[in-house]
Amino acid sequence: MRWPLPWPKSLRGDTPPEPGSGRSDAVPEAEAPPGLAEEEPPKSLRQQVLLFARDLAVAFLIVAIVMGLLTAYARVWPPMVVVESESMQHSDSESFVGVIDTGDLVIVQAVGTAVDVVSYVEGRATGHATYGDFGDVIVFIKPRTPLTSTPIIHRAMAYAVRNASGGADVPGLARLPATEWSARSTNGSTGNYAYGIWDFTLYNVGYQARNPTFNASAELALATVDAGFLTKGDHNQNPDSHGAVAVNRILGKARGELPWFGLLKLTLFPGRTGCCPDGWGDARAPKNSWDALLLSFVVIVVGPFALDFGWGWWKARSAEGARSRHPSRVFPRSLTTGLRIAYGGLGIGAAVGGVLQAFSVLDPGSLGPVHLGFSLLLLLGAAYLLSGAIKGGYGPRAEARGETAPGPPVAPAPEAAVTGEVRTESSGPEGGGPGPP
């Protein structure tokens, strides 16, 4: 049986004989066409299976490295969540890059202690801002609800600690200028009290410049905790009233976003209470987010193909007739490479999103196994497409290797120049010296 791999050559048994070696099957070497390498022989089924398995392993390794790095950075699973409602938007009808809008994919980073979260009050004093306003945005499970409940993504406004007098301490308030807040102490007086208070009011908060009042002591009592964060959605008029959020209820803090692309997941698998049960174009998400998602798909699909095809066309035009001599070497490779990159990239993105959704606590319904199975199949196909693009394509024929610019036609060299033999009119038998006189 013939050795299927191209190495080592000694095992293949098909090493061509050296010219002039005396072997009867020695033939002169023919020069390949300028700019094109010699075509490969058709690959056997076993060879194609081995190549396919190798490329799948490479593609899966790349995906695993990317997901591993993302998970290592986030230190939480899943590392990304989809925003299902408008509570963090900065407009009733328009989305913005850098603001958390309906349909955004948000990267979540784990939180270990309260120090890992910068509240709005602290951020306003220090200038720390994320997603269009001061402080950090956190993903958490509402107090007094099962841990499998749908998480909330809102801004951490202040950190409150239960006071021995029955009120609450909010140390961060003391860092703000006196004109930006006021508090009502447990003795009934109103002023700039950061300790022993019932509630406090912040002035000119958010893009709507509202003056929300936070009932710190009541929120701690409602959640039956000694310390926790008071939260509020940027788009909401009033603070949250579900109770203070203890650190052990926080899944993580928002640290990066991929705008719009979560709408694809919400279209296929709508949230239980948010977007998008009406399908594509649901009015619960900003219209410009749908437009941007559609444009992104067009760019992802058409962009790589257009660039790749344009580059191949330019090389063919500069090759002085290479297209007419070898038309299959220019267009098909450009076409398959462009499409493999485009659809392979889409497949990888959709597959990763599906895997995250399968394990996501945001929507832990019975469709998790279905999501996971579909996503793994999609990932398999996408890995094949991408690996094919990276390797230059599959098939029984080579797709034009060694693309040096072709030069002018070269006439075949004389046989003497090929074989290295010197012949004269009086030469004897082939391969010998001058004959007898």
pLDDT in tens, 106-128: 999 999 999 999 999 999 999 99
Mean pLDDT of 362-375: 42
Whose tokens are 């230190």? That residue is: 75
Closest by CA to 322, choosing from 332, 314, 330, is 330
The rounded distance, in Å, linking the Cα atoms of 419 and 140 is 80
What confidence category does residue 319 fall into, taking pLDDT thresholds of 50, 70 and 90?
low
Q: What is the mean pLDDT of residues 363-374?
A: 42
pLDDT of 421 > 50? The answer is: no
What pLDDT, in 10s, does the model give residues 8-53?
444 445 555 555 555 544 444 445 454 444 556 777 888 888 887 8
Q: pLDDT per residue over 297-306, tens digit each?
A: 888 777 777 7
Identify which of 69, 146, 70, 62 has the alpha carbon closest to the alpha carbon of residue 108: 70
Q: What is the DSSP string of 364-400?
A: -STTHHHHHHHHHHHHHHHHHHHHHHHHT--SSS---
- Nearest C-alpha neighbor of 97 from the set 242, 288, 230, 274: 288
User: At residue 407, does pLDDT exceed 50?
Assistant: no
Side-chain half-sphere CA neighbours of 304 within 13 A: 18
State yes or no: pLDDT of 343 exceeds 60: no
In angstroms, the Cα distances linking 192 to 13, 162, 183, 244 are 91, 18, 6, 22
Mean per-residue pLDDT, 356-366: 41
Average pLDDT taken over every residue of the chain: 74
Average pLDDT (325-350) is: 51
pLDDT over threshold 80, residue 133: yes
Q: Alpha helix locations (H) across 224-330?
A: 262-268, 287-317, 322-325
Judged by average pLDDT, the poorest of 8-17, 142-151, 173-182, 301-310 is 8-17
Rounded mean pLDDT, 233-257? 94
- Confidence band of 406 (pLDDT split at 50, 70, 90): very low
191 band by pLDDT with thresholds 50, 70 and 90: very high
